[in-house]
């Protein structure tokens, strides 16, 4: 235990880690019963047994707690790596679907977007969280390029956004659940576009697009 512990965790099982676990668990439970709008630092304090001033010192706001919760949960989502581009896309789309179809996660996402609309600080946190997660899973597209499944020069972030967009559009705009059919069409749409070279910016990788 001489290495520097990861940010915000002290050592595993230490008091800081226990506090964090308790508060995040409390937030997760509250969001399973009630919307984000109903969540307050006082409610988190009551359920977690952690003093409200401790919560405020560490996370500042309810949005801060929920962003931490989202980071915790999405970091446990593995990046698919099956050796097959279409299968990787399917696993990722299914993971996003499963996540967003759970009521409390829906509440987390909706709450963060509400917060983002009201507060540019929260907006920046939300943006950064999505950018970070997208960056992680671009591995899928980068490996597909390496295996020669999709053209060189493919913009990996565009591939991931194309896959995720229809799923979030269903949840946030059409206000529905993500069904099997939508997972399939999102995967196929992204796959067909990627192999057709849609995500290769103009002026890059022409050789591959012709070939």
φ/ψ (deg, to 5) at 3? -70, 155
CA 163 to mean position of chain CA atoms? 13
Which CB atom, from 19 or from 110, has the smaller least distance to a copy of itself? 110
Q: Are 91 and 82 in contact (CB under 8 A)?
A: yes
Q: How far apart are CA 114 and CA 97, in angstroms?
A: 21
**Listed ranges 1-9, 31-39, 45-53, 78-86: which one lies at the site for a copy of itself (CB under 8 A):** 31-39
Per-residue binder mask for a copy of itself (CB under 8 A), 153-182, x = binder:
-----x--xx-xxx-xxx-xxxxx----x-
Per-residue binder mask for a copy of itself (CB under 8 A), 32-51, x = binder:
---xxx--------------
Which CB atom, from 22 or from 161, has the smaller least distance to a copy of itself? 161
**Tokens matching residue 162:** 């194309």
Give least dist CB 39 to a copy of itself, A. Answer: 12
Which own/partner pairs from 142-149 qualify as long-range (CB within 8 Å, at least 24 positions apart)? 143/81, 143/85, 143/88, 144/85, 144/88, 144/194, 147/83, 147/85, 149/84, 149/85, 149/195
- Comparing CA positions, the residue from 204, 124, 199, 125 lying closest to residue 163 is 199
Q: Does 118 bind a copy of itself (CB under 8 A)?
A: yes
Which CB atom, from 58 or from 209, has the smaller least distance to a copy of itself? 209
**Listed ranges 9-17, 19-27, 64-72, 105-113: which one lies at the site for a copy of itself (CB under 8 A):** 105-113
Note the residue count of the chain.
211
Residues numbered 188-207 forming contacts with a copy of itself, rule: CB under 8 A: 188-190, 192-193, 196, 198-199, 201
Q: How many residues bind a copy of itself (CB under 8 A)?
A: 40
Q: How many CB atoms lie within 10 A of CB 127?
A: 11
Interface with a copy of itself (CB under 8 A): 35-37, 110-111, 113-114, 116-118, 123, 126-127, 130-131, 158, 161-162, 164-166, 168-170, 172-176, 181, 185, 188-190, 192-193, 196, 198-199, 201
């Amino acid at each position: 235990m001489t290495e520097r512990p990861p940010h915000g965790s002290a050592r595993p099982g230490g008091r800081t880690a226990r506090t964090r676990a308790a508060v995040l668990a409390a937030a997760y439970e509250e969001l399973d019963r009630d919307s984000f709008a109903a969540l307050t630092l006082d409610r988190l304090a009551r359920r977690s047994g952690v003093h409200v001033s401790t919560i405020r010192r560490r996370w500042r706001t309810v949005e801060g707690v929920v962003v931490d919760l989202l980071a915790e949960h999405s970091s446990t989502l593995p990046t698919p790596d099956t050796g097959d581009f279409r299968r990787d896309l399917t696993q990722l789309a299914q993971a996003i679907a499963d996540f967003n179809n759970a009521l409390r996660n829906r509440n987390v996402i909706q709450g963060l977007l509400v917060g983002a609309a009201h507060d540019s600080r929260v907006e920046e946190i939300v943006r950064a969280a999505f950018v970070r997660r997208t960056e992680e899973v671009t591995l899928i597209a980068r490996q597909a390029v390496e295996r020669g499944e999709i053209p060189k020069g493919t913009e990996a972030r565009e591939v991931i956004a194309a896959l995720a967009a229809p799923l979030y559009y269903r949840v946030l705009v059409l206000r529905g659940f993500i069904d099997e059919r939508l997972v399939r069409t999102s995967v196929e749409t992204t796959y067909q576009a990627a192999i057709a070279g849609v995500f290769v910016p103009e002026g890059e990788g022409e050789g591959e697009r012709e070939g």
